[in-house]
Structure formats: C-alpha cells, structure tokens
Chains A and B, each alone.
Chain A
Amino acid sequence: MDLGKEMMLQMYRSMQRIRHFEAEIRDLAIASEIPGFVHVSIGEEASATGVCAALRKTDRITSTHRGHGHLIAKGGDLKRMMAEIFGKRGGYCKGKGGSMHIVDFSLGILGANGIVGAGLPIATGSALAAVVTGRDDVTACFFGDGASNEGTFHESLNLAAVWKLPVVFVCENNGFGEFTPMQTVTAVKDIAVRASAYGIPGQIVDGNDVFEVYRYASEAVARARAGHGPTLLECKTYRWEGHMVGEQAILGHGSYRAESEIEEWKQRCPILRFEKFVLEGGKVSGAELERIRTETAAELKEAIAFARSSPLPNPSEVSDDVFA
C-alpha cells in the first residue's frame, strides 16, 4: 500500500507523541506529581495510530482506561490532556475526569471510560445516531481482550450486526486483563473468531504493524460507511509497562509475566519496525524522522509546563456540571 510521504510522517508523529506522552506520564506518576491510577500504552502505539488514520475528523471513537494513545491518535490536544491528568482546571474535563475519562467532542472523542466494556454499547449507540440522523459518520470502538469477556461486548456486537450499524470494533489484545493472562480466562485463543457468532467479519491483525492496522481498519471503515455493518478487528499487541504505573507497590515481589516475554515484544516495537521499513524503502530520510522526534519532545515539554501552570479547580466548582 502506498500511503504517501505525508501520511507516513503523520503516523510516525502520532506514534512518537503517544510513546513520549506515556513515558512522561509514567515518570510523573512515579514522582507522585499526578494523582490516581494511570495506565499507559507503551508498545501499543500502532493500533491506535493505524485505526485513527483511517478515520475522518467527523468520525467518532470510544476509548478505554488505557486511552491516552487513542485520544492522541484522534488529534487530542497534549496540553489539555496533560492538564486533565494533573487534575487541573485547564484540563479537558476541568479536572473532573482524570486520566481515564478524557473527552473531546469537537474531535469526535466520546471518551475514555473507567469501566471495562462500557465503550462498546456507547460506540454502538454513536453509530446508531449516524443512522438516525442520516449521516455517514463511522464510530471506532477501542477495547481490550478483557472486555471481550464482558456481556456488553456480546450485546453490542449482536445489536450492531442486527442493525448493520457503522461501527468498527477494535480489540487490542495485549495479552493481559489487569494482571491475569488472557489465555487463562478466555475460552478462545483469538478474539476475532467471536465475530462469527454475530455474523460479521472478524480479522486478526498484527497490532504492532501500523501499515497492516491501517489497511484492515480502512477496509472496515469503508464497509461501515457504505452501510454494510460492523467489523471486529483483533490487533495482537503487547503492553510493555504494567497494568498500572506503580503496580509493584501492590504486587510486592509477585510477578505475572516473564522478563523474557517483555524483551521479546520489545524486539517487535511498532516504532522501530516503522523506522526500519520507511528508511530501508528510502521513503523518508532519517533526518525527517529525527526532526519529528525533536518536535515531539518539545511539545511534551510545553504540555507539562502548561499542566503545571494551570490552576487547580476551585472547591466552589464541585457542584458544577452535574446537570445540563
């Protein structure tokens, strides 16, 4: 697939932003500069980027507790995201949502969600809204392997299939639900096969190959937009970091995965694979990639400075926004 140089550089920028953002968040959480639970998605940059690259600005997404990457890939503003995670007034949700609940309606980001599987019916409903209003918007729904064992997964796939709704279900199978290996709690090896129970296409995708993700996502989005209904994509990927930052403090010496497994997946780093592919193909120069990395680092510096300088919410705002 020839994507064109501009598109490729955009994908690279998206993956670099996610990687840098998540690394900063991890370090800030360890330094206790941000409150609450944070879940980072280092290693999973390609699925978020490849899927969102296949969407229009007016298309919508739903995301998860591990959602920073999806939001960045859909165009989320790093400053306002960072400020939200800091619990500041300048954040996307004025400090009322935090890391797991960032929303930007102007970009079609209907929100990350703290409840595993909650995004599936919401995405289904968002797709239903497109049908009711006669628009051709598509909704992409990110969720994990854990969510595929929730009732909402099955109810949503059935409902979306019955009504032929324009939604793409994107399962990011990173091998773990919290600290539990997926294969010990899931009756099937591949989540994609579950699509057949609802009469919709299910496709296993190399989730660490941004081009492959983009190709399958584009097909699924086109199918949805044409009114042919939903698709289930299963992006096989891996979470380099733990379920949440600082988990060793609660797990003690307990370990639920081998170091060698983590190392093995690091060899399949989606960013390194991208770099190797485009540089070997002579499609872009090393200097161009270097420039993006430098710019991203500067953006992150700015975002953190913005978050630090943004005021904390005033306690008098506690009762605002309960009702419209």
Chain B
Amino acid sequence: MAQILWFENYQSADAPELGGKNASLGTLLGAGLPVPPGFAVSAECYRKALADGGLTGEIDALIAAVDPRDTASVAAAGERARALIGALRVPADLDDAIRGAYARLCEQCGDARLPVAVRSSATCEDQPDASFAGEHDTYLWVRGGDSVVAHVLRCWASLFTDRGIAYRLERGYRQHGAAMSVGVQQMVRPRAAGVAFTLNPLDGDRSQIAIDASWGFGEAVVSGEVTPDNFLVDKVMGAITRRTISTKTLEYRLTSADTVTAVEVEAERQSVPCLTDDEIAAVARLARRAEKHYKCPQDVEWAIDGAQASDGEQSVLLLQSRPETVWSRRPRQAGACNADPITSMVQTLLRPSRGTPDGGC
C-alpha cells in the first residue's frame, strides 16, 4: 500500500485505507465534480508510525482499561494517548513523502506556500465507511511542508479525542481496529460557504435542495455559530422556492496573521444575501450532481471561491458529500396520495386550500 494516495487516482479498493472522508473526496473527484485537488496519507502510515515508535501495545492497553461510563477515565486515557502520539517522530521516509506530495500540490496550484486543509479521516475495520463526522480534528489554512507534517501528526492524535473514544465505545467498535488517514487538500478563500441537503430537512421533500449559506469559511455554518441564509431550490425546475435572509453576525475569515478566525461581520453586510441567484443555482446543481452520483440523498459542504468571478460555475467547489441520514432512515410512508380519484377529489373539495394554489410561499 502506497503512503500517499492522490484523490485524482482514487479507486474504490483504496477505501479501507483512506477512511470515509478521503474516500468520498476521491470518489467525487473521479465523478468529475469540482473538488479541490489533494492527497491522502494512508491509514497504514499511522499504524506503521505507532509501531515504529513502540506505541501500539501501550495505546491499546490504555484504551482497553477505560470505563466507558466514567468520563474522567475516558478523558485521562485520551489525553495520555494524544500526548504519546503528539511526541512521535514522523518516520523519515513518510516525512519526505508528505513534503514531496505537498510540494507537488503547490506546483499544481501555482502557489509555493499553498494553503491547505489537513483533515482527519478515521477508518475502522468493523466499519470501513464510518464517517465519524465531527469526532476528529480538521486544520484550516495550513501552509508550508513543516506545518503540514506537524498537522498530520495532530490529526493522528485526534483519533483519541474524548468524543472519538466515546463514539467507538458506544458503537462497540474494536478500538485497536481504528486508524487514521489524513487528507491534505488545497484551500480556497471562500467569499461564502455552507451546506446543502438534497431534500428539504423540514419535511423530507425529495424534490427540493435546501441550502444554508453564510459569509466566509463554512465552519460558521457547520458549527451552528451563525444563523445562515436559507434557500430552497426545486431540483427539477431550478426555481428558488423559498428564501430566508438572516442576520449573519459572525464569519470565519482569514486575518492579517494568516490564520482563520471568527470575527464579527460588518453591519452593512449582515443582512445582505450572501449568494446571488446564479450562485444559489450553481450550488443546487452541484448538490444534485453529488446526489445523482450516489443515487441517494446527500448532505454536502460547498464553498464559493472568492478568487473566481461571481457568476462563473467554476466558482462553486464541493468540499464534502455524505449520505443524508435523518429522512433516509425513516420508514417510507406509502400512499401519500389517495389512489382512488373520486375519494381523493372529495378530500380535495373538502379541504380546497390544502390542495390548491395558495399564493406562493
């Protein structure tokens, strides 16, 4: 198994070594979706680094001793495991490989100190596709080979966040089967970003795409720190069927110190829609393509590249796509419409305002 796997060369057989998040990025890129380029450091690298550092047995023992009902015991074991991994030296050959891949990515994107996102992508023997969303760390706007290598190590350590340990214990996954792959991906400086569901999360309407959008990096929306603008777009007609413009008080922005920080949005931008109608349409099309590729409702993260012209399709990037879980898991309610025309016509006549045009939204 190679240490470095480029997203553009991804094949489904690579999935167990890449974890859900990285595999998904590879799949989407392979499907021709506009995913920023990047590479994954395979989970095998993590396992080898731990073995080389003599930590494998120690960490397994640490976790095996945890009492899942005792949060203090989880926290203590996690802290110790993270400290052990954080003190590791990345094996020299891997260090070279990561630096080399980063340099290649820099060259490809035409920026010698290309900002990248370094993302955890956990794997699990029991559940190769388990996507542990939010259990592990992601680092934004990382620049330079030294920093990339350092953040790969931090991602490895984040396999043992308290949340991560607790999650695996809850699910009954074998702890020693868990490993960490790390994704390194070009980052853009988004003018606006957010999430999109390929159904209406309020009522499960499969004909709609619901978009949550706010200024700056998508973290503000994902973390729920801001009330985003909300748009509903009909998949078939492309029409914007509902728009709610919120007061967006906070955004993650790049500061003069070259770090991504939450700052207050200037008053005059707070209540302005953060997407144009063309951008709304482009985000909706992108989400729809992801859904068509996976053939099931998706929950996607996207961003508008601030460096691109606002009306260009090229300006919308797909950062993440995973199956929508809430409505997709619900048992389907068959017979939403009454099949007998007379019976349902009588129902329509009895409640005309439910089944009739009611003046828009």
Please indicate whether A and B come from the same complex rather than being unrelated chains: no
**Chain B contacts to A: CB under 8 angstroms:** none
**Chain A contacts to B: CB under 8 angstroms:** none
